[in-house]
Chains A and B, each alone.
Chain A
Amino acid sequence: MSTVDYYKEPFFTSQTAFPSGETKKLLEGRNAIVTGGGKGIGKGITLRLAAAGANVLIVGCGNMAMAEAAAEEARAFGVKAEAFRADLAEEASAEAIRDKALQLFGGIDILVSNAAYQPNLDIDEYTPERFDQVMQINLWSPLRLVSACAPYLKDSGHGRVIFVSSVHGKRVAGFDIGYATSKGGLQMLMREAAAELRPGNVTVNAILPGGTAIEFKSGDTFTFKAERRERERVYRNPAGQGTPGDNGNLAVFLASDLASYITGVSIRVDGGLVLF
């Protein structure tokens, strides 16, 4: 699976003509944070943002070699990119990430909260500790990050928060009660933050991926549920799976000035996997 080119160069690496007559890349000079930006959908977003001209701080934890490799790929687009290790389950991680971004770039324009943990367990299979861990990483860490970065996103004048949620934040699937619970909360976090940050010209939106092909999923237990999920996916999506770049394309649009009047929405990137 790793040989597939999920991250191939997108069309908007070239100069884009703006109404003002200026030509530049869509996100030229913007500074972004992408949690979990070294792998899977996060890497797709990292490379698309970089291709569009944004500097990227890639936050990783379990596999820093992949985060470092993604940073190197991003730098090939002529932007600044660095990998930074932080354990999002820890309360102090949000401020550490923010401080690192400020140290590297001097400001924050785009926060992509993407990292997530999906152990694929039923309620009786979850220990309380693991359930809490899923909430901390998938839900409360995004809240802490928005809180820590909010003043700088406001200062940006075109601040952007993009949550990578999931179709499971809208639609039950029976795979992982903790993951679905956290993503349901993320939908409301997106709406609360969107409402709060309106006066600061910061937009807050969510991408809901579904059926995306990635290298591997952290913590996936590959039980019978994974096999059944694959059958369902093929049945529902005969056109095939999505790529991390599909999600990255939407992230670039939402991060750009083209989307400055769009806030508080969640958009599925699932090829029609979930139609309601």
Chain B
Amino acid sequence: MRTALITDPTHPAAEAIAKRLREDGYTVYEGGDFTTAQGAGEAFSRTGAVDALIISGHEEYRGLISQGDANAIARAGNANIMAAFHAARQYGLPMMQQGRGSVIFLTSPHSMKPTCANAAYSVSQGALAMMMKELALYYGHYGIRVNSVSLGAMKEEEEMFFSELAGGEYDAETKIPLSRRATGEDAAGAVSFLLSEDAAFVNGDTLSVDGGHFYYYFDRPYSDKKGATLA
């Protein structure tokens, strides 16, 4: 029986991912205190070594660097990074010893694109994007694959990322080429694929699951061109 751990079950996609992994035949563990090494150790004593580690921490804090409480932003952002560090450190070594396993970071297009609303989140996601790649390089030699799923805008997170300085988030449905927001099931499908044998040679990559939202920059008025003819 294969086992999986989803570190933060409060992530809006966690429930759908857990459901999908159970359907894929995993025993799924959820949660644990990853704010400290001791907490991560306690989680490990409960679950033992796992085949799949889904790092889903998503501490968020609305606040601008230039106007907000810098210490609060730093603490929230650091919580994301340290939680990922504790989880990867605790569960990575047993994976190395077993010579198998897979790690997936649940990240966001904000690891590349600023939010102008939630610096704690985007700065930590930028950091985790590099952590994922470094782990892929290091763990890869032990047969462990490390990848990311970059999940786009979910309805649940709309308010957290609304910005008066940048227009990426409001009216997202009109700015996402596929004209809808991301769902937990979208993330679950990508996670399932990356854990599967079909992705056996995929290591250190990020699978964007955002409907093309990442490429939004300027509004392009939509017009129905189904009836158009070639020039």
| Contacts from A to B (Cβ < 8 Å) | 91, 94, 122-124, 126, 128, 131-132, 135-136, 139-140, 143-144, 146-148, 150-151, 154, 168-169, 172, 174, 177, 180-189, 191-200
Nearest CB in chain A to that of B111: its residue? A188
Kindly identify, within residues 161 to 214 of chain B, every residue whose CB is under 8 Å from any CB belonging to chain A. Answer: 165-166, 204
Q: Is the CB of A123 within 8 A of B88?
A: yes
For the complex, give the distance between the alpha carbons of A182 and B134 in Å: 12
Q: Is the CB of A144 within 8 A of B71?
A: yes
Q: Is the CB of A143 within 8 A of B114?
A: no
Q: Which residues of B contact A154 (CB under 8 A)?
A: 66
A–B Cβ pairs within 8 angstroms, 16 of them: A128-B86, A135-B78, A143-B74, A150-B67, A177-B138, A180-B130, A180-B134, A181-B128, A184-B126, A184-B130, A185-B81, A191-B113, A193-B119, A195-B116, A196-B66, A196-B116
For the complex, give the distance between the alpha carbons of A181 and B122 in Å: 13
For the complex, give the distance between the alpha carbons of A94 and B143 in Å: 43
- Least Cβ distance of B115 to chain A in Å? 7
Q: Is the CB of B74 within 8 A of A174?
A: no
Q: Indicate whether A128 sits within 8 Å of B37 (C-beta atoms), given known contacts A181-B128, A191-B113, A192-B116.
A: yes
Nearest CB in chain B to that of A153: its residue? B66
For the complex, give the distance between the alpha carbons of A229 and B227 in Å: 59
Q: Is the CB of A188 within 8 A of B137?
A: no
For the complex, give the distance between the alpha carbons of A181 and B77 in Å: 12
B89 part of interface (Cβ distance < 8 Å): yes
Q: Which residues of A contact B66 (CB under 8 A)?
A: 146-147, 150-151, 154, 193, 196-197, 200
Range of interface residues on chain B? 35 or more
Other CB < 8 Å A-B pairs besides A148-B70, A182-B127, A188-B111, 9 of them?
A: A128-B86, A135-B127, A143-B65, A143-B119, A168-B130, A180-B130, A181-B134, A191-B114, A194-B114
- Least Cβ distance of B76 to chain A in Å? 11
For the complex, give the distance between the alpha carbons of A192 and B71 in Å: 16
Q: Which residues of B contact A177 (CB under 8 A)?
A: 131, 134-135, 138
Q: Indicate whether A140 sits within 8 Å of B78 (C-beta atoms), given known contacts A172-B137, A181-B134.
A: yes
Q: Is the CB of B74 within 8 A of A144?
A: yes
Q: Is the CB of B114 within 8 A of A192?
A: yes
Kindly identify, within residues 57 to 81 of chain B, every residue whose CB is under 8 Å from any CB belonging to chain A. Answer: 64-68, 70-71, 73-74, 77-78, 81
Residue with the highest number of chain A CB atoms closer than 10 Å, among B37, B73, B134 = B134
- Least Cβ distance of A106 to chain B in Å? 21
Contact of A172 among B77, B88, B124, B134 (CB under 8 A): B134
For the complex, give the distance between the alpha carbons of A220 and B4 in Å: 37
Nearest CB in chain A to that of B38: its residue? A128
Nearest CB in chain B to that of A198: its residue? B165
For the complex, give the distance between the alpha carbons of A191 and B37 in Å: 31
- Least Cβ distance of A165 to chain B in Å? 11
- Least Cβ distance of B78 to chain A in Å? 6
Contact of A192 among B81, B82, B115 (CB under 8 A): B115
For the complex, give the distance between the alpha carbons of A147 and B67 in Å: 7
Q: Indicate whether A181 sits within 8 Å of B65 (C-beta atoms), given known contacts A188-B114, A192-B114, A195-B165.
A: no
Q: Which residues of B contact A148 (CB under 8 A)?
A: 70
Q: Which residues of B contact A186 (CB under 8 A)?
A: 126
Kindly identify, within residues 3 to 62 of chain B, every residue whose CB is under 8 Å from any CB belonging to chain A. Answer: 36-37
Nearest CB in chain B to that of A132: its residue? B82
B152 part of interface (Cβ distance < 8 Å): no
- Least Cβ distance of B103 to chain A in Å? 11
For the complex, give the distance between the alpha carbons of A139 and B114 in Å: 16
Q: Is the CB of B114 within 8 A of A123?
A: no
- Least Cβ distance of B102 to chain A in Å? 16
Residue with the highest number of chain B CB atoms closer than 10 Å, among A147, A169, A197 = A147
Q: Is the CB of A189 within 8 A of B135?
A: no
Q: Is the CB of B82 within 8 A of A188?
A: no
Q: Is the CB of B134 within 8 A of A174?
A: yes
Q: Which residues of B contact A185 (CB under 8 A)?
A: 77, 81, 123-124, 126-127, 130
Q: Indicate whether A181 sits within 8 Å of B130 (C-beta atoms), given known contacts A124-B93, A192-B115, A195-B116.
A: yes
- Least Cβ distance of B120 to chain A in Å? 9
Q: Is the CB of A188 within 8 A of B125?
A: yes
Complex interface bits, B91-132 against A, C-beta within 8 A gives 1, otherwise 0 = 011000000000000000011111110010011111111110
Q: Which residues of A contact B110 (CB under 8 A)?
A: 188
